[in-house]
Amino acid sequence: MHFLEELKSFDIILASQSKRRQELMASAGIPFRALTTNSSEEFPDGLLPQDVAMMLARRKAEAISQELHNEKTVIIAADTIVVFQGKILNKPSGYEHAKTMLTSLSGQMHKVITGVCIAHQNTFRGIYETTLVYFKELSGQEIDYYLTNFRPYDKAGSYGIQEWIGLTGVNRIEGSYTNVVGLPVERVITELKNLLFGAEVK
């Protein structure tokens, strides 16, 4: 039986209100239902960026861990951060903050790191994926157009690669594209296989 058919016997919960993550899960054929979580996005100083991403993802999973009373329940939670010159760029507070972020990313390379927590019974498995994203030089007009028309204030780093700015402003990426969108789908599938079936299914 195909892996995706096997997954239908599980209650897979995506602990996210992100439409982008939900679309990625659906496109990959993973059966799921989405639950909104409320967890702190604060983190202590001194942590490595990947540890921050995995910590925030685990918090989201733990926020609905009461759902794990059923042995067939699996929780998938994720958190995506943008790292530029060693500094984590969070969601912007507004237009000017977003403009400052995109101006700094213009013509530069930055990292997008998504931490994922997959919870099943008493196991909370954390992984992360890193993708390098290279922006071309962005003009002030391009940045203003994007912010005015797309209002990316709910996105780390002030942009969504699947939107206009990704089509016109990104020169290249190194690594997983779906990771930049918000969920490294290939890694998630691999981890689900290993965690639930010991990678015995295809």
What is the distance between the alpha carbons of residues 198 and 195, in angstroms, rounded to a whole number? 6
What is the distance between the alpha carbons of residues 94 and 175, in angstroms, rounded to a whole number? 29
Closest CA to 63 of 98, 14, 107, 22: 14
For 35-48, the three-class secondary structure string (H helix, E strand, C coil) is CCCCCCCCCCCCCC
Residue 170 and residue 136 in contact, taking contact as beta carbons nearer than 8 Å: yes
Identify the residue whose tokens are 């969920």.
183
Would residue 144 show up in a list of annotated catalytic residues for this protein?
A: no
Which of 11, 51, 79, 144 is flagged as catalytic? 79
The Cα-based distances of 2 to 5, 22, 57 in angstroms read 5, 22, 28
Closest CA to 16 of 111, 115, 82: 115
Q: Is 51 helix (H, G, I), strand (E, B) or coil?
A: helix
Residue type, 56: L
Give the catalytic positions in this structure: 79
